[in-house]
Amino acid sequence: MDAALLLNVEGIKKTILHGGLGELPNFITGTRVTFHFRTMKCDEERTVIDDSKQAGQPMHLIIGNMFKLEVWELLLTSMRVREVAEFWCDTIHTGVYPILSRSLRQMAEGKDPTEWHVHTCGLANMFAYHTLGYEDLDELQKEPQPLLFVIELLQVEAPSEYQRETWNLSNAERMQAVPILHGEGNRLFKLGRYEEASAKYQEAIVCLRNLQTKEKPWEAQWLKLEKMINTLTLNYCQCLLKRAEYYEVLEHTSDILRHHPGIVKAYYVRARAHAEVWNEAEAKADLEKVLELEPAMRKAVHRELRLLESRLEEKREEERLRCQHMLG
């Protein structure tokens, strides 16, 4: 076993367990890598969390897609074909792993990996993590920790070598990507990295829009995708509010409400945007609609109304002083 090798990236250590073949492959954007992995905790027992060999199917990752755990791309592009290596990854690289793991487990069990996505983002706590449905993953979600990844690189294919197969797999790839992108967007939002969070939400929306084009409008699967798109769009609007892009928020929320007039969060987010651009009547009307549809939101609505009145009073005082100054 070779000594631990640093990858010149903070929080990653590599140990080669079995040397690979030939030169380091050319990992251009679009290259598909096929690999087995085993994920373990860093405890004395090296507790196994996931093992693709036990699941009976290797993993595929497209270089440049950033759909899965982003650190895996760094790890894989340091490897030769048939190499086996162990990577220690610090918490900064493993925060989104529980979401990825959950998606992989659901697919292995023949379930829809995006089902959780529809029920997240409740109004009372818009960015709260909900249970992932697996006790060990919930524990990791609550208390992120360093992880060990043992990876065996099986195959590296240039984009032209697998094009036909990729078309067949693209829908599954997109479906698998959505909850991961959503979770990563939520994480970045909590860190105050609103522009990066916006990009994750947008990427997930594009995946869903592509999938939706293959469904018949207003039928069950199309509506399910539409609901997911609306959730992500409203999360995107939360980022826009933080970035003071109020008119874009008004555009997105109004578009949602034209087609789905019962979505409470859309009224709430639009009310906040109206308040920021001094549309007093519109903001109050949207907040009243929130109360009508969701009485449990009373506390949040009253807080927004108090904030609106306070800002309007400040504006009136500024205008009064400006008029005095002009007359004086």
Would residue 125 count as lying in a domain?
Answer: yes
Q: What is the pLDDT of residue 229?
A: 95
Q: Which residue ranges in the chain fall short of pLDDT 50? A: 1-3, 115-129, 163-169
Residues 185 and 291 occupy one common structural domain: yes
Q: What is the pLDDT of residue 61?
A: 86
Residues 192 and 287 occupy one common structural domain: yes
Length of the chain: 328
CA distance linking residue 135 with residue 146, whole number of Å: 18
What is the CATH classification number for the domain harbouring 213?
Answer: 1.25.40.10
Range list of β-strands (E), 92-204: 147-157
Would residue 114 count as lying in a domain?
Answer: yes
Q: What is the pLDDT of residue 260?
A: 94
Residues 74 and 141 occupy one common structural domain: yes
- Using DSSP, state whether 319 is helix, strand or coil: helix
Q: What is the pTM of this model?
A: 0.56
Would residue 227 count as lying in a domain?
Answer: yes
What's the Cα-to-Cα distance from 18 to each of 82, 116, 153, rounded to whole Å?
A: 8, 38, 11
What does the angle CA 290 – CA 294 – CA 296 come to, to the nearest 5 degrees? 115
Reference 5, options 62, 73, 86; nearest CA is 86
Decide which of 96, 131, 157 is a domain's last residue.
Answer: 157
Q: What is the pLDDT of residue 230?
A: 96
Residues 142 and 203 occupy one common structural domain: no
Would residue 321 count as lying in a domain?
Answer: no
Residues 207 and 298 occupy one common structural domain: yes
Decide which of 105, 133, 157 is a domain's last residue.
Answer: 157
Q: What is the pLDDT of residue 164?
A: 38
Residues 18 and 138 occupy one common structural domain: yes
Q: Which amino acid is at 217?
A: P
What is the CATH classification number for the domain harbouring 80?
Answer: 3.10.50.40
- Residue 81, domain extent: 12-157
Q: What is the pLDDT of residue 70?
A: 80
Q: What is the pLDDT of residue 326?
A: 79
Q: Which two tokens stand for residue 304?
A: 């927004």
CA distance linking residue 288 with residue 236, whole number of Å: 23
Domain count of the chain? 2
In the beta sheet, which residues pair with residue 5? 14
